[in-house]
Structure 1
Amino acid sequence: MSDAPSRAPATAAKPWHEQIRVGFDLETTGRDPETARVVTASLVVVDPHGRLAAAYEWLVDPGVPIPAEAAAVHGVTTERAQAEGLPADAAIVEIADTLRDFFDAGIPVIAFNACYDFTVMDRELARRGLEPLQNRWVIDPYVIDKQVDRYRRGKRTLTDVCDLYRVPLRDAHTSAADSLAAVGVADALARRYPQLQVPLETLQGQQCAWKAEQAASFQEYLRRKDPTAVVNGDWPVARR
């Protein structure tokens, strides 16, 4: 992408889910964002009509072995990453710079369970002594769904919420498919709950508060059995 001027989103006649928006997803070497390394990354651009307009994808050699458990989920082995992947130092810069361009242009970036993906990126940049992302205009369907339908029973994985909101999800656990599905879920939520059709800066602040409340509630539940349980409520990046 070309450099875009740094600005806040302009006030628009249409709500965010009817403007250009971007889906973002990572597949990594593990579940812990403090130690996970990026293996694949996808950014998909969706036009105001909900059609795929562009896609940016990376296959990354993380520089460490990819555990068999992780490879079984996303399908990328250590051997494939080493043979076909971009070296991690170059890939992380490219992914971060592309995200920066979208943020600077005031375009919302939608990521399901965004705190995982953006914490992974934060730690990858920190390992290299690089500037952290500003992470403006992030939309997280995982946090939003838990807020607007908080008493619904059952799992809330991307697959589950796609089924609920009738969003197609093909090739689950590939970053391209998951990022596009995240946009679909966010759009469905905005249509079903008009109170979400607020300015991006307002929604960003609301999600920070919602995530903190959700973490506090879950921590209180866990402490019934384990008084030392701690649930991090930071969003969209877990503070160290």
Structure 2
Amino acid sequence: MSWITGPLVAFDLETTGTDIETDRIVTAAVVRLEPDGAISEERTWLLDPGVEIPEEASAIHGISTDHAREHGVPPSSAVEDIARAVAEVLRSGTPLVVMNARYDLSLLDRECRRYGLESVTERLGGVPSPVIDPLVLDKHVDKYRRGKRALHALCAHYGVPLDDAHDARADAVAAARVVRRMGEKHQRIGMMPLTDLHELQVRAAAGQAASLQAYLRRTADPTAVVEQAWPVVPRNRQPGPAEAPRGREREPGDRAAAPLSRTAPG
């Protein structure tokens, strides 16, 4: 049986900013989609991140500092719940879909460290797997396609509705539906065993990062370093450059490409 005909669980964060080392979780969602696309389980969280939420971030995901303080739960308890939920999914063998996993899973890892909690990696006894990342896979199967690779662009390309972008639940659901369509369209990944698919993405993400690094060294910064690790950036690494200029190449909040940061929060 192919993974595209089985259940998928999607994970998404909305955050205070774009840096995995310093920014915080504002909202999170873990959503299970059945083979027919129906949502059978979902968990969502609103956190009081304990810091001011920048106006730029609030404008994207709609959560203000005041709203988070009034309605959000303490971050330490929420991060524990989120990490436990993610680990349970992966421990079950169900694939975890994460758009730009390198960002979301690394930020969750840093939040666990911040509050003295076991990370997902520590809970599992190894790097989170199996993870399916629409960003990495789309670049792999359609390397030379022009245009954006942000979630909204992938939804448009694969014919998946995205009605409430930058809402963690909506983005999670859309990411899962995108990878299922991608697997149906590109049978060479759709029929691949999950272990092989995960390892393919490890190699693909490293190759994509190396290619970007070479480009940046030719055109912008001869000392540029782009993180190659996927799906979690090891701790104590120095932040590298974003995968795209910090302008309007992509919609704010979409996970189009950030080795250690995103071009916009959430």
TM-score by length of structure 1 reads 0.93
2:117 corresponding residue in structure 1: 130
* Aligned: 1:215 with 2:209: yes
- After superposition, give the CA deviation of every residue in 1:29-87 in whole Å (9 maximum; x if it has no partner): 00111111000000110012121111100001101110000000000000000000011
Identity %: 46
User: Whole-Å Cα distance in 1 between the matches of residues 19 and 130 of structure 2?
Assistant: 24
Pairing of 1:82-231 with structure 2 (within 5 A): 82-134=69-121, 135-196=128-189, 197-225=191-219, 226-231=221-226
Distance 1:193 1:36 in 2: 35
Shift of 1:27: 0.1
Q: Could you list the runs of 5+ residues in structure 1 that have no partner in the other structure?
A: 1-13
User: Which 5+ residue runs of structure 2 have no aligned equivalent?
Assistant: 122-127, 238-266
Is the Cα contact below 8 Å between 1:18 and 1:50 reproduced in 2?
Answer: no
Deviation beyond 2 Å, 4+ runs, structure 1 = none
The CA deviation at 1:174 is 0.6
Match of 1:67 in 2: 54
Give the alignment partner of residue 229 of structure 2, picking from 215, 234, 237: 234
Give TM-score, length-normalised by structure 2.
Answer: 0.84
What CA deviation, in whole Å up to 9, does each residue of 1:185-227 have, x standing for no partner? 1001100111112111111111000000000001111111321
Q: Distance in 2 between matches of 1:208 and 1:34?
A: 21
Q: Give the distance between the partners of 1:149 and 1:198, measured in 2 at CA.
A: 17
- What residue number does 1:9 align with? none
Alignment of 1:23 with 2:16, yes or no, is no
Alignment of 1:34-73 (within 5 A): 34-73=21-60
In the alignment, the residues of structure 1 paired with residue 11 and residue 4 of structure 2 have an alpha-carbon distance, to the nearest angstrom, of 15
The alignment's C-alpha RMSD in Å is 0.8
Residues in 2 aligned to 1:191 and 1:20: alpha-carbon distance in whole angstroms: 14
8 Å CA contact 1:40–1:58 kept in 2: the answer is yes
SS in 1 for 2:13: strand
Q: Output the CA distance in 2 between the equivalents of 1:202 and 1:116.
A: 22
Displacement after TM superposition at 1:129 (Å): 2.2
